[in-house]
Amino acid sequence: MPAPIRLRELIRTIRTARTQAEEREMIQKECAAIRSSFREEDNTYRCRNVAKLLYMHMLGYPAHFGQLECLKLIASQKFTDKRIGYLGAMLLLDERQDVHLLMTNCIKNDLNHSTQYVQGLALCTLGCMGSSEMCRDLAGEVEKLLKTSNSYLRKKAALCAVHVIRKVPELMEMFLPATKNLLNEKNHGVLHTSVVLLTEMCERSPDMLAHFRKVSLVPQLVRILKNLIMSGYSPEHDVSGISDPFLQVRILRLLRILGRNDDDSSEAMNDILAQVATNTETSKNVGNAILYETVLTIMDIKSESGLRVLAINILGRFLLNNDKNIRYVALTSLLKTVQTDHNAVQRHRSTIVDCLKDLDVSIKRRAMELSFALVNGNNVRGMMKELLYFLDSCEPEFKADCASGIFLAAEKYAPSKRWHIDTIMRVLTTAGSYVRDDAVPNLIQLITNSVEMHAYTVQRLYKAILGDYSQQPLVQVASWCIGEYGDLLVSGQCEEEEPIQVTEDEVLDILESVLISNMSASVTRGYALTAIMKLSTRFTCTVNRIKKVVSIYGSSIDVELQQRAVEYNALFKKYDHMRPALLERMPVMEKVTTNGPAEIVQTNGETETAVLETKPPPSGLQPANQANDLLDLLGGSDITPVIPTAPTREPASAGGELLDLLGDLNLTGSPVFAPAPQIAQPPFLLDGLTSQPLFNDIAAGIPSITAYNKNGLKIDFTFERSNTNPSVTVITIQASNSTELDMTDFVFQAAVPKTFQLQLLSPSSSVIPAFNSGTITQVIKVLNPQKQQLRMRIKLTYNHKGSAMQDLAEVNNFPPQSWQ
């Protein structure tokens, strides 16, 4: 059989192939030849064949049938074989292969070979891709070689140890003794790899870190670094006039780890850091690489402020550098330090903002993040201008983040409501389709709360969607606003800018277009339909048209729309008397966190209030302790705790006090926190639809009672019953103070027997002014499905005349009409 062709020959041949198919043919032919050669166990040409196989592997063709051959090459005595064998092993025999472990013995032998270059091959292979088992087996050999005086082997052994530690962290300890003398070497290769090894150990184990701090590693490193800088030109390690930058950077990195959170170590390296920072040449990339690492170290350890300022100034200079890489690196570092050294970074704000206009995507992203971090009350107008411009012109992948960032910043630092609304409008119209889903309810809430801007807002939103209603979030917000404030729109009441003339029909036109349009998402259509419905109470001339629209959608294919339309239809027909109340204007909502309440239902505007009211009550509210004397009164039955569901600013205290009221009771009532409102109380949910807790159609005429009158504190109850739900009684308490001093921190609590349920809304205030000059009102809703006699225990706490007062009382004089 003729000798297999040489490697270079094969390469040349394959490169002449003009098509992929031709190449594949050649390769297949050669592979077949190689395979038969392997089968013949030919020792002479194995090496050549494997080399060819490796080439074909690089082109992307399968080469697994060469794995065992690599093993044979490694076991061979010939150096040429071993070289190719180990190369093949590194390329084909990673730890996922079954035969990987078969290498172990060969490597072990070669680690003890008489020729250092063979040992080197073994160390290299082990250090690049040895599996955990292999590392465990051979760690001892590596450790031995770590102590050799042969620097060629020592440096490789050090990196091999690094790999072993990465694979099997428990073995770290065994390398510790060998590290003692590592840094005494002159050889740079050994020094470098030793620093890497020490770094790995310190990063992984706090014990090691402490140990190395103790054995004065820092002074040693400082000395080495100093020598590097001070010593003259050394041609062997010089790069553009700097002596061994690789070693310098690694030492700086190790110093960073040692100095972190450690005053003594940080102290010891202050001088050298200052020296490096000021003396390093910055004309070439090398110098800047070192400066970069120095800055990172300074910022991360407990350095003195002068040094930190120096570091930030270096970063500032980097920002002005023409080299994009340097700017990139500067922005990354500034982003890391902006929290801790905010003021210093602010000084470079204008340069950072300029970077927004850079062409490089990564630079733009970092500049954007940094800009958001730098916005504050003083610069918000200017920064927003730049950021809005950026939003306009940036790539789509940025728009969502940028929009969210702008919303956040605007919320925190808006100088005026009008500016805030204008900014939001700008974002919605510029990047309306990229705005995140949760932004819509946030915006709606914001608009609701800016009461004086309603007319202006609705006018602007109307104008915005007139031209284009494809951006869903914009359309959703606009629909909602038009639904709420449509009356302001047609009456032309806008103060902030020139009011426009809009007729009711025109408004309905645009909403109907949204409904019909193919571009509108289902959610958006829901918004539009609800808005149209709401306008039935706000518009005067077009109610019939609205009725028609609503009834059309009663047969819509979209189930959500159909349901709404049917319900609204019912509102027109059977419940027309309730319509005004249900569709009343939304009240100012309690401010929630900037992330928005998770439960807000995006579709139906009405339910928003309900959900807000049923926000999870204080976490302090846990059913606690055992029964005792209390509450025999209520016939020995257990008490259900009161659910304070109105959103309060200090939920915790309310919960605690309730626990007090119920003393050491055994609260066997069902869990009454967040889920409760949904489980228990449909009537209350319906309540939530109106902004005021009262029904418009209640039967009047239930006599009010004085529930409590003692020490100058009088509490009256007035009652209302609902026509639609006879189990619900709404009690309004009024507390007045006839003494000559105010009562402060007034808290009213109530408990009812188990068959009842209670809902307590927020009081109007916590101070009862003296001389009956004012009252606190609070609303209690009682659900009494079994029509039992209403009884109540109340607890009052307040401060009066400098002392804390507290009283418990029973209310038994409920008029029959209030519960029968």
**Where in 464-503 is the site for another protein (CB under 8 A)?**
none
Cβ-based nearer residue to another protein, 139 or 667: 139
Window contacting another protein (CB under 8 A); options: 3-11, 218-226, 516-524, 750-758? 3-11
Which residues from 97-116 bind another protein, rule CB under 8 A?
115
Window contacting another protein (CB under 8 A); options: 289-297, 407-415, 521-529, 803-811? 289-297
Candidate list 95, 512, 567, 599; residue touching another protein; CB under 8 A: 95
CA distances in angstroms from 747 to 573, 618, 656, 670, 743, listed in the order given: 44, 16, 12, 24, 10
User: How far apart are CB 184 and another protein at their closest, in Å?
Assistant: 18
Which residues from 173-202 bind another protein, rule CB under 8 A?
188-189, 192-193, 196
Tell me the per-residue interface mask from 9 to 38 with another protein, x by CB under 8 A, - otherwise: --xx--x-----------------------
Asked if 58 touches another protein (CB under 8 A), the answer is: yes
Window contacting another protein (CB under 8 A); options: 156-164, 218-226, 473-481, 709-717? 156-164
**CA geometry: angle at 302 spanning 300 and 305, to 5°?**
100
User: How far apart are CB 264 and another protein at their closest, in Å?
Assistant: 24
Cβ-based nearer residue to another protein, 246 or 419: 246
Q: How many angstroms from the chain centroid is the CA of residue 542?
A: 46
Candidate list 34, 54, 103, 750; residue touching another protein; CB under 8 A: 54
Shortest CA distance to 684 belongs to which of 636, 634, 740, 645?
Answer: 645
CB within 8 Å of 79: residues ≥ 6 apart? 115, 117, 118
Cβ-based nearer residue to another protein, 123 or 546: 123
Asked if 354 touches another protein (CB under 8 A), the answer is: no
Q: How many angstroms from the chain centroid is the CA of residue 297?
A: 27
Cβ-based nearer residue to another protein, 237 or 381: 237
Cβ contact 385:422 at 8 Å: no
Candidate list 129, 135, 410, 440; residue touching another protein; CB under 8 A: 129
Which residues from 67-86 bind another protein, rule CB under 8 A?
75-81, 83-84
Which residues from 681-720 bind another protein, rule CB under 8 A?
none
Window contacting another protein (CB under 8 A); options: 121-129, 342-350, 410-418, 478-486? 121-129
Distance separating alpha carbons of residues 411 and 424, to the nearest angstrom:
10
- For tokens 């209403």, what's the residue? 790
User: How far apart are CB 218 and another protein at their closest, in Å?
Assistant: 20
Question: E strand or H helix at 734, and its extent?
Answer: strand 728-737
User: How far apart are CB 39 and another protein at their closest, in Å?
Assistant: 17
Distance separating alpha carbons of residues 224 and 222, to the nearest angstrom:
5
Asked if 571 touches another protein (CB under 8 A), the answer is: no
Cβ contact 235:244 at 8 Å: no
**CA geometry: angle at 533 spanning 529 and 534, to 5°?**
120
CB within 8 Å of 201: residues ≥ 6 apart? 165, 172, 175, 176, 179, 208, 212
Cβ-based nearer residue to another protein, 199 or 448: 199
Cβ-based nearer residue to another protein, 145 or 546: 145
Candidate list 31, 74, 87, 171; residue touching another protein; CB under 8 A: 87
Which residues from 221-280 bind another protein, rule CB under 8 A?
236-237, 239, 244-247, 249, 253
Which residues from 300-319 bind another protein, rule CB under 8 A?
none
For 321-345, letters b (16+ CB in 10 Å) and e give: eeeeebbbbbbbbbbebbeebeebb
Distance separating alpha carbons of residues 561 and 227, to the nearest angstrom:
78
Shortest CA distance to 104 belongs to which of 153, 137, 76, 132?
Answer: 137
